Amino acid sequence: MNSNPAHILVADDSVLVRDILRQALEKYGYTVTLVKNGQQAIDYFIAHNPDLILMDADMPILDGISACTQIKKLPAAKHTPIIMITAFVETKKIDSAFAAGVTDYITKPVNLGVLRNRIHYILQAKRAEGALFAEKEKALITLASIGDGVITTDAEGKVEFLNPVATKLTGWKNQQAQGLPLNQVLNLQDEKTNKSIEFPLHRCLDEGKTVVKLKNYCTILVHKEGNKKFAVNDSAAPIKDRNGNIIGVVLVFSDMTKNREMTNALAYKASHDSLTGLYNRNEFKVNLENIIHNSALCEQEHALLFMDLDNFKIVNDTCGHEAGDHLLKEVALLLQQRVNENEHLFSNAVLARLGGDEFGLLLESCPTKLALNIANDLCKSINNIKFFWSNTGHDKNVFTIGVSIGLLPINGEIVHPKNALAMADSACYTAKNTGRNNVYIYQKDKKKLTDKNIQWVSLINNNLDKYDGFSLFYQPIVSLHGQHNFTNCYEVLLRMNDPEGNNLILPGAFLSAAVRYNLMPSLDKWVIKTLFRWLQNNPNHLKQLEFCTINISGYSLNEEFLNTLTRNIKASEIPPQKLCFEFSETTSMNNFSEVFNFMTRLKKLGCRLALDNFGTGMASFNYLKRLPLDLLKIDGVWIKKLVNGKVDYSIIKSINEIAHLMQLKTIAEYVENQEILNKLYEIEVDYVQGYWVKIPQSLNNIMTLESNST
């Protein structure tokens, strides 16, 4: 309870009455301030907020009832008691006073004994009401949070209360914790560093701010006994009295241990190989990027080992994939043991399975000579493996394998992780070609084919980072049964811009390197993103466009690429039926389930679908009935032989007729002369495409053609 004397404001126009009241109230132990009219009472209340007002009803300038009405409109006066002193006993006057908000009244001449008792009980009720309000606030917040751990403190940050959940998580009982500083009871640690964290209680107490979600679920609460730890999500809010003064803090914390375990499990799956438990390729690339960046900043030398098992295919082909999986796990375990046993050599090492029978090892702060010794040691260790496997006929097989290792020194000259992986891969390729089960240090030699591939990889990556690194071309697909229009239908083609000149590089020069070093998905994404942007920027052309075809390579057939593609289609303003996605027959036969999944999803969006190079596979017709196609592109191998080959003519005619029976439109590729075109008219193919029809041109030329035709 507050021990300070109550502050009473006396407002009366009579000097004598004011003096009598002052003497009496001060005698009773109150602090008294005197004013002589209602306006002065209002001004003083705003400035000083007294505990009680004793006000004469009839005063000059502003009477007491009017002053009371104005004071009660102030937020701070909501709970301030006002006693009216009046010489009137008329009911209407008294009713007006209560309507204005007075707490009580007393008549003149004032009976000082009665006044003393009324003031005493009114102030006592006010204090009790304030205490009840504060306790109610604490109780409401605590009860509202009873499902989580709840701790309340006083205004000094000392613990007042713990609920049962808080007791369970902290290990402190309510009576034990009372009066202790919050940070002594709430033992928090950083999940990653295990360093102690002090809860920022001052933000609640000093600044009156709410603190929410400490460290974004990375906070660990340590049990009093130290034998249990809980992942928690913290929040705290100040508790205020009716005047807005902070009287304590309520802290609420949720046990997020199970959620955290699930999050960690998902994060582990996203960064680790499911078969071996090692890091996966994506996580390896993240670490590689960090090391490359640090090497450029700190001028340190690191090493990358790219490892490819020798004779692994023999195990797979002889004993099956189950044996191959067991062998991969055995190799992974050996590599991990070698890293763990030599921590002084493998400081900050990152070991990963890069895919198939390929492994990667990053050695931070490791000079080339030491990395070479480590690589040679790994070669010997893996070569010493004797892999035993019994098949269903109980025949026992023993295999000896080896490993070819490409060693890439990492220094400030390497600026792209994809380039680094390609360089290490090419060194590994050289190690295989020079006898296997050995180590080859990458050397920059422009005469070697592998280094030419690296140059292409570097150029592709650099051009992907540029706005104008590549260009889109189009080749018209012209209808044979209507008006010849060169911009209504076309196939989208990719060209790479030569950074050293104005020449364009055709795909045949760089696609093999893109395939070998897993860059095809990046190229496919660039084509789609750029084409969509171009179509949206040219709405007049988009309006008259019938369809354009876009090639999807077999190396992009994964869920992540498909999800990205469908999101881009939905987000664009391009009608889906104007987009036709091409899949080659070979890709469809070798990856039928993946192609079927792609086609099904794209068909639901309303896109068109085409099967390219039809006729190259022996089982081509079987796939026509199973895939949701719109267009069939007849392979150019048949088209080129059309004029002089009667059998080829019949084959193309059969393909065209079967396609029409299945409600598919046909496109003949590689139309290179008028004789071929005439034959296709006879066969009644729907569309033609080739250099005789029109050579590929820059996509931007379409706008010039369309403007000239209008």
Over residues 416-444, the pLDDT tens digits come to 777 888 889 888 888 887 777 889 998 87
| CATH code of the domain covering residue 347 | 3.30.70.270
- The verdict on 208 and 253 lying in the same domain is yes
Residue 454: inside a domain: no
> Of 237, 261, 285, which marks where a domain is finished?
261
For residues 245 and 335, state if they share a domain: no
CA distance 78 to 244: 13
Residue 1 in this model has a pLDDT that exceeds 50: no
Reading phi first (left if > 0) and then psi (alpha if -120 to 50, else beta), residue 124 is in alpha
Per-residue tokens: 320? 């099956």
Enumerate the β-bridge partners of residue 582: 551, 610
| 49 and 172 co-located in one domain | no
Distance, CA of 552 to CA of 566 (rounded, Å): 13
352, 482: one domain: no
Burial class (CB in 10 A: 0-12, 13-18, 19+), 581: buried
Q: How confident is the model at residue 478 (pLDDT cuts 50, 70, 90)?
A: very high
> Does 563 share its domain with 698?
yes
CA triple 145-149-153, angle to 5 deg: 85
> In the structure encoding, which two tokens stand for residue 593, read together?
């389930």
Report which of 616, 611, 579, 580 is spatially closest to residue 596, judged by C-alpha positions: 611
Do residue 282 and residue 179 come from a single domain?
no
Contacts of 208 (CB under 8 A, 6+ apart): 238, 240, 246
Domain end among 80, 101, 134: 134
pLDDT in tens, 499-528: 776 678 888 888 877 877 778 899 999 999
Q: What is the helix, strand, coil percentage profile of the chain, to 5? A: 45, 25, 30
pLDDT, position 323: 86
Say if residue 618's pLDDT is above 60: no
pTM above 0.75, yes or no: no
Does residue 395 surpass a pLDDT of 70?
no
Q: Which of 134, 164, 183 is the last residue of a domain?
A: 134
The phi, psi pair for 663, rounded to 5°, reads 65, 35
450 within domain boundaries: no
Whether 557 is in a domain gets the answer yes
Structural domain boundaries enclosing 300: 273-443
> Cβ neighbours of residue 160 under 8 Å, at least 6 residues apart?
152, 153, 154, 178, 248
Q: Which CATH number fits the domain that encloses residue 124?
A: 3.40.50.2300
Q: Tokens 């309340």 identify what position? A: 152
Q: Per the domain annotation, does 159 fall within a domain?
A: yes
Give the lowest-confidence range in 9-23, 26-40, 294-308, 538-552.
294-308
pLDDT higher than 60, residue 291: yes
Residues 211 and 323 in one domain: no
Given the structure tokens 């179509």, which residue do they identify? 535
Strand duo 687-688 + 665-668: pairing = parallel
**What is the distance between the alpha carbons of residues 647 and 685, in angstroms, rounded to a whole number?**
17
Claim to verify: residue 243 and residue 295 sit in the same structural domain: no
Residue 645: inside a domain: yes
The CATH number assigned to the domain holding 186 equals 3.30.450.20
198/281 same-domain check: no
CATH, residue 687: 3.20.20.450
Q: Are residues 219 and 289 in the same domain?
A: no
SS3 205: helix
Domain-embedded: residue 266:
no
Question: For 15-111, where are the alpha helices, taking DSSP H only?
Answer: 15-27, 38-48, 64-72, 91-100
User: Is position 102 within any domain?
Assistant: yes
* Residue 680 and residue 556 in one domain: yes
Q: Which of 216, 224, 222, 125 is nearest to 172 (CA)?
A: 224
| Nearest alpha carbon to residue 527 among 478, 479, 582, 489 | 582
| 568-593 per-position pLDDT tens digit | 999 998 999 999 999 988 787 777 88
98 & 233 share domain: no
User: What is the count of structural domains for the chain?
Assistant: 4
Place of tokens 């229009």: 485
Q: Per the domain annotation, does 452 fall within a domain?
A: no
pLDDT, residue 622, reads 67
Q: Residue 556 carries which DSSP code?
A: G
